[in-house]
Structure 1
Amino acid sequence: MATFFGEVLSVSSRAVEEDEDDLSENEEDEQIRRELEEKRTVQLHWSPDVSDWLKSGNKFQCSDFVLAVGHNASRFLSAHVLTSANWDVVGHASVWNERNLAGSRQTGVDSGCVFHRQKDNPSVLICQVTCYIAEDQLFQWTEKVFDCLQQRELHVTVLSDSSVSEYKTADYLCGSSTPFLRSLQSRAFTGPSACGSLEQPNIVTGLPAAVLNHCEVYHIAAVVYQCYSDVNGPDSVTMEAYKPVLAKLGKNIQWDLSPSTDVLRKFVRTTNIQSNLYI
């Protein structure tokens, strides 16, 4: 190669070196992807006795599986169903993703996905989910949880929090009409629901949709109760909107329609409404 002043320089080809650099970068990227996929894998952690029982090839002989997705749905079950001493925490799920990581850093606590089972009636299993489950983790969670449940004569009830801004209607919604419930059932569900059906073109998304889709494929009786609220975060009025569901839960589930003030105070937190003009 000649320079500007005519000096001839010998230049060796960098094609081999560039190929080697690209190969090492591809291997490094692949390793990072594998580590991220492994980290994002949903892990179920059961109590020692339940874990040993499941490893032996057994499954939960459930007549009712109740899933609460969101803070209001979870706290509603805590106040009206899980307040008695007849419930044991039998496991939890680890769901790592960027949003849960950020939330745990801000609050100082880990996000939750906890399983409860009745002591005197182990055929009832309740799960409270207050953490975010990413799209690529929904199928994992659903498959792994339902793989632990016998599906014959299983009834699934899902309580789900949702923003009223996601509700589509031709009619005007005034403040007095919120919060409100809508339901969506699998074809195997035959009983009456606690509220009206979800109107088109509204849809169910996230974990409730993944569970309902699984139940539809495997012919499991399931109903999703979606509560639309105009309040973000835990709210006592939104919690009360779930009350009609209590009468529709399985006969094996004991519930308290009017818990004491002390119980409600434990699970209902008053949130201060702040302006979003200043941080």
Structure 2
Amino acid sequence: MASYYGEILPVISRSADDEEDDEFAPQPRPLIVKTTSPSKDCETLCDCLVVTVGEVAWRFAESFFDLSRENKWADVEETRDEDHVGYEAISKSPKIAISFHTVSSGQRKTTFAVCKGHNPPEQIWPVTNKILGIPRGYKEVFVLSSSPVQEYKCDDPALLEAPFVKSLATSPSPTEHPIYPTLEQPNMFKNIVAAVISRCHILRVPAIAYVCFTENIHIDPASVLSLNQLLNTTQFRTAKDVGLASKDIVRLVANSHAKHGSLYT
């Protein structure tokens, strides 16, 4: 077989290559659900499901909705085996892929599925199945995340003023949601965000994703507060004072920067 440049190349079967790739590809690790509340069946019922991916979204939810041990009812942990020696060496405790919290406001219940850590490609769909499969009764899904502004594609990057938020909704979309600009092509969502939105679109569950594009390596107040338009909607109505929560965000961010301030920590 001749290549574009003219040299002769051996013909290789793609089917054989695919089999070899599958053989050596990382396999998804099993996920175990561990309940932390005795009233699990009651806690799994909710009106709205909010998925937070990454630290910016987690800090937003934690500050405005006071996610704590008291309202956490389940953790989803990755199992470990002898094939993951490197992971064993890094951490002796199991990795928590998802934490579920339920927050009540009047007669309305909102479940938060918190994903703090990074999920490798082989874990994307198993984690997504747990996120959408464990809570029950929800009619709408909101996905909050963040991404480096360097990954955002546009004609003139010099005009970008980070942080900014882009959104993408399924059809049908949630009944009430803030109007952030729609994510333009060729940009696209990745990983857990893309998987959750795709699955909701297939299942005809109204869903919308919000991604904050930030230019800072570490978390900053402006990035967290860029999502505060959500607080004007019924789904995100909270009894916590917005002004006090904003101060909490600044305090949390300052402490986070202090931890990363040393070259040796």
Q: Bin the TM-score by the shorter chain.
A: 0.7 to 0.9
Superposition pairs for residues 7-26 of structure 1, below 5 Å? none
Corresponding residue pairs, total: 235
User: What is the CA–CA distance in structure 1 between the aligned matches of 2:130 and 2:66, rounded to whole Å?
Assistant: 24
Aligned to 1:25: none
Displacement of 1:117 in angstroms is: 0.8
In structure 1, list runs of 5 or more residues that go unmatched.
Answer: 1-29
The 8 Å contact of residues 87 and 119 in structure 1, kept in 2 or not, is answered as no
Displacement of 1:212 in angstroms is: 0.3
SS at match of 1:197: coil
More moved, 263-272 vs 192-201 = 263-272
Displacement of 1:144 in angstroms is: 2.4
Residues 1:41 and 2:38 aligned together: no
The match for 1:169 among 134, 137, 154 is: 154
- RMSD between aligned alpha carbons? 3.8
Q: Deviations over 1:8-32 (max 9, x none)?
A: xxxxxxxxxxxxxxxxxxxxxx9x9
The match for 2:76 among 76, 84, 93 is: 93
Aligned to 2:187: 202
The 8 Å contact of residues 186 and 216 in structure 1, kept in 2 or not, is answered as yes
Q: Which amino acid aligns with 1:75?
A: R
SS at match of 2:242: coil
User: What is the CA–CA distance in structure 2 between the aligned matches of 1:87 and 1:254, rounded to whole Å?
Assistant: 17
Residues 1:147 and 2:130 aligned together: no
User: What is the CA–CA distance in structure 1 between the aligned matches of 2:38 and 2:190, rounded to whole Å?
Assistant: 34
The 8 Å contact of residues 79 and 94 in structure 2, kept in 1 or not, is answered as no
Displacement of 1:47 in angstroms is: 2.5
Aligned to 2:64: 80
Residues 1:239 and 2:228 aligned together: no
Aligned to 1:258: 243
User: What is the CA–CA distance in structure 2 between the aligned matches of 1:75 and 1:256, rounded to whole Å?
Assistant: 16
Displacement of 1:148 in angstroms is: 2.3
Which TM-score applies when normalising by structure 2? 0.73
Residues 1:132 and 2:118 aligned together: yes
More moved, 159-168 vs 116-125 = 116-125
Q: Which amino acid aligns with 2:47?
A: S
The match for 2:47 among 55, 63, 83 is: 63
Residues 1:227 and 2:227 aligned together: no
Aligned to 2:16: none
**Percent of aligned pairs with the same amino acid:** 20
Displacement of 1:60 in angstroms is: 3.0
